[in-house]
Structures are given as C-alpha cells and as structure tokens.
Amino acid sequence: VGSRVTNASARMVVVRDTFAFVADGAAGLCVLSVADPSAPYIVGTMSTPDWAIELRIRDTLAYIATAGDGLRIASIADPASPYLVGFRNTASYAYGLAVELPYAYVADQFDGLRVIDVSSPAQPVEVAHYNTGGYADGVALKDGVIYFADYSDGLQVMELYGLGVEEDHKPQAASRKPGPTIVRDVLFMEARGEKREARSELLDISGRKVLDLHPGANDVRSLAAGGYICRSGAETARFTVVGR
C-alpha cells in the first residue's frame, strides 16, 4: 500500500491514532504520519546516544530501550517535536522492554532483568534486579507474571513480590518490644535531642515516600489503610510515634 524509508534501521513500530512511532536504530525515535497509508511521511525525530531497539507508548510518553544506554523516556505530546524527559542507564544493553505503570521492565542482555520505577518520568529509578544468567533478549507481562526470553536458556517465568526498604548495616529497634503503632487521622511525632527541626518521612511498603513528617501533629487522613514505615531524617533525633 505504501512505504517510507527511515533515517537508519527500523527495529520496532507502535501505531497510535494517525502516527507510527518507530525505534529507528542508530537514529533514535522516528515519528511518521500514516493518516494516508499510501503516503507515509516523517513528521518528527529524536536522536538517542545508542541504538533504539524497542519502544512502548503510554499516554503521551514513549519508553525506548536503547542498546548501550538503557531506558529513555520521551514526550510525544506533540508528535512533530518529541523530546527527552528522562533516562536511566543500565549495566548492559537494553534489548527488550515491557511497561506496566509505574514500572518499566528491561531485558538487559548480559545483566538480566531490570525493574525501573517510572512514576516520575524525569527521574526514573531502578528498584529491582534479577540476574537470569543467560542472554536477556525480551520481556512480556501478563496478570502480574513476568515472561523472560533468555536466549540459549529459554523461557524464564518470574514474579515481583513487591519492593522493600533497605535497613541500615546495624539496625536497632527503638524499643525492647518493637511493634506496630495504630494510627487514625493524625500521626503525632515528638522530637527530642539537638535537632528538633529535623524532618522525617513516611514510606509505603514499597519504599516510596508518601508524606513528609514534622514534629507534632501530621494529618494522615488522605492515606489508604495499610502498613507504613517512619524513617528519621536525622541520626541525632529520637522520635516517639503515638496514634489517635
């Protein structure tokens, strides 16, 4: 019906509305209008430092796996002017990609599976890693299960059981009988020591900050029911947490 030569080596395509988004190898991202399938034409491009291998589209963002450079996130709100929003380097070569927000799953060639939190597109953060031992080539998701193509090692099936909060090298409980504190509506924090103004933060069980805390009353009515962790913002401050 129609064709159009791109600027480099077309590796993958995703079609959204009347636009085709192409992972164009050494040229990066190439956007073509396919409103008339018999006469496609290039409307915008965005270069990448290394080969663009795979891409996924979510809303107005394109997630691009680039060999030798990891994950790149581009805004495609204006298809004629795509631009870089954020990136995260990986240890090897990003050959496969799956996206199920808030995470991007990267098949990182010699370094296995990389899980990257993309909830903040400008600052994607790696949150999990699994070395498959083979040659990571592709990844797919279905109902929370990760299907991983590992070249000569075949298919590997994995699950992500959630993320944690890393403890200090010598974690110590503040009490001889540590236990959960039940809090409703208001979280009270009493600061003792030299740094009374020191702030702390409340984390969910995945380790993501959900609230900045300060000495005194903290309104937590907006938070969903569940388990949370209070992390001190200063080593010299001691906090007592009680619930009401």
Q: Sign of the C-alpha dihedral, residues 79, 83, 86, 87? A: positive
Q: Which residue has the tokens 């495609």?
A: 76
Q: Identify which has the larger pLDDT, 220 or 87.
A: 87
Q: Identify which has the larger pLDDT, 32 or 171.
A: 32
Structure tokens at 181: 């504190």
Measured in degrees and rounded to the nearest 5, phi and psi for residue 161 equal -90, 15
pLDDT band at 241 (very low <50, low <70, confident <90, very high): very low
Determine the number of helices (DSSP H) and then strands (DSSP E) in the chain. Answer: 0, 21
pLDDT in tens, 79-89: 999 999 999 99
User: Where do runs of H (alpha helix) occur along 126-197?
Assistant: none
β-pair partners for 122: none
Instruction: Calculate the average pLDDT of the chain.
Output: 83
pLDDT in tens, 12-24: 999 999 999 999 9
Query: What is the rounded distance in angstroms from the CA atom of residue 243 to the CA atom of residue 88?
Result: 39
pLDDT in tens, 168-206: 555 555 554 555 567 778 887 766 554 445 567 888 777
Q: Identify which has the larger pLDDT, 194 or 154.
A: 154
Give SS3 for 84.
strand
pTM: 0.68
**What is the CB neighbour count within 10 angstroms for residue 112?**
22
Q: Is residue 244 predicted with pLDDT exceeding 70?
A: no
Query: What is the rounded distance in angstroms from the CA atom of residue 208 to the CA atom of residue 228?
Result: 10
Question: 11: Cβ–Cβ under 8 A, 6 or more apart, which residues?
Answer: 22, 23, 24, 25, 51, 52, 53, 54
pLDDT band at 77 (very low <50, low <70, confident <90, very high): very high
2-6, 64-68, 140-144, 178-182: segment of lowest average pLDDT: 178-182
Residue 152, judged by CB atoms within 10 A of its CB (0-12, 13-18, 19+), counts as exposed
β-pair partners for 54: 65
Query: What is the rounded distance in angstroms from the CA atom of residue 75 to the CA atom of residue 135?
Result: 30
Question: 220: Cβ–Cβ under 8 A, 6 or more apart, which residues?
Answer: 183, 185, 186, 187, 202, 211
